[in-house]
Amino acid sequence: MSDKSNKQEQSIRVENLVKQFGKGESLVEVIKGASFTIYKGELVALIAPSGAGKTTLLMMIGCVLEPTSGQIYIGEEKVYDNRWLTQNTRSIRREKIGFIFQAHYLIPFLNVIENITLLPQTNGISKEDSEASARKILNYFDIEEKAYAMPSELSGGQNQRVAIARALANKPDIILADEPTAALDMDRSINVVKMLKQIAAEQNVAVIMVTHDERMLKYCDRVMKVENKKVVFQEFEKEGG
């Protein structure tokens, strides 16, 4: 296991998390008693066979899907304890969590900077401040010259960079990435994963990345696996190891 626990703060803590679907004879248990901690500044891969519960787990951590039981902490704040402790989980998602998906889901009739500033402005940040912040993020990703381009004018790799920039726009504590490299070729996939690792370290956020591509694991700090409905950490050889 990484020694980050001795140096850094927790970003996500899950205790005895359970998710069941259905009732009676049709009851299906997908996640059974998951307990783990993810720390700020690390990139953690989440792997499992198809249908084993990766996305279910990600959506519970992201306060999108309600667990059946257990506890979830975002930072030091307990947000779920056998029930949501707030009536407005949307505010948690808006303020603390950034999402990246396999498809970029950029709004096609908004340009790049409009896509990035939409959430901050929804959260009450002024147009001027949100655009200034967006330009810094675009410069960070070396695509500032694309600020006024439409998504249709960008390459697949550029669109995914904009999607990552959008996830960073609300300065989240956690980034949840669901198969962010699935639509990209090998070189672009490696670049995106390295970018996520750099973001985790430089922005001091926790990044959890669902992936099917085991070639990406060596670039991550830890690998978390859903196995027999439990969550375990898997040993692996890191890049340069």
Comparing CA positions, the residue from 62, 66, 57, 65 lying closest to residue 94 is 62
pLDDT band for 180, please (50, 70, 90 cuts): confident
Comparing CA positions, the residue from 3, 47, 61, 30 lying closest to residue 223 is 47
Q: What is the mean pLDDT of residues 56-68?
A: 93
- How many beta carbons lie within 10 A of that of residue 142, not counting itself? 9
Least confident of 27-31, 59-63, 120-124, 151-155: 120-124
pLDDT at position 112 is 93
Residue 89 carries which side chain, given as an amino acid letter? T
pLDDT at position 236 is 65
Q: Report the SS3 class of residue 76.
A: coil
pLDDT at position 63 is 93
- How many beta carbons lie within 10 A of that of residue 188, not counting itself? 17
pLDDT at 191 over 70: yes
Percentage with pLDDT > 70 across the chain: 94
End-to-end CA, the chain: 14
Percentage with pLDDT > 90 across the chain: 40
pLDDT at position 219 is 92
pLDDT band for 5, please (50, 70, 90 cuts): very low
Q: Which CATH architecture has domain 3-234?
A: 3-Layer(aba) Sandwich (3.40)
Q: What is the mean pLDDT of residues 30-52?
A: 91
Give the mean pLDDT of the chain: 87
Comparing CA positions, the residue from 65, 66, 78 lying closest to residue 12 is 78
pLDDT at 172 over 50: yes
Alpha helices in the chain (DSSP H): 54-61, 89-96, 112-122, 127-140, 156-168, 186-203
What's the pLDDT tens digit per position in 113-128? 999 998 888 878 888 8
The model carries a pTM of: 0.84
Instruction: Return the residue matching tokens 């027999």.
Output: 228
pLDDT at 107 over 70: yes
The secondary element (H helix, E strand) that includes residue 222 is: strand 222-227
pLDDT at position 238 is 64
Q: Report the SS3 class of residue 70.
A: strand
Comparing CA positions, the residue from 103, 106, 129 lying closest to residue 116 is 106
pLDDT at position 57 is 93
Q: What is the mean pLDDT of residues 11-27?
A: 92
pLDDT at position 122 is 83
pLDDT at 129 over 80: yes
pLDDT at 45 over 50: yes
pLDDT band for 4, please (50, 70, 90 cuts): very low
pLDDT band for 40, please (50, 70, 90 cuts): very high
pLDDT at position 3 is 44
Question: In this structure, what DSSP letter does residue 150 have?
Answer: -
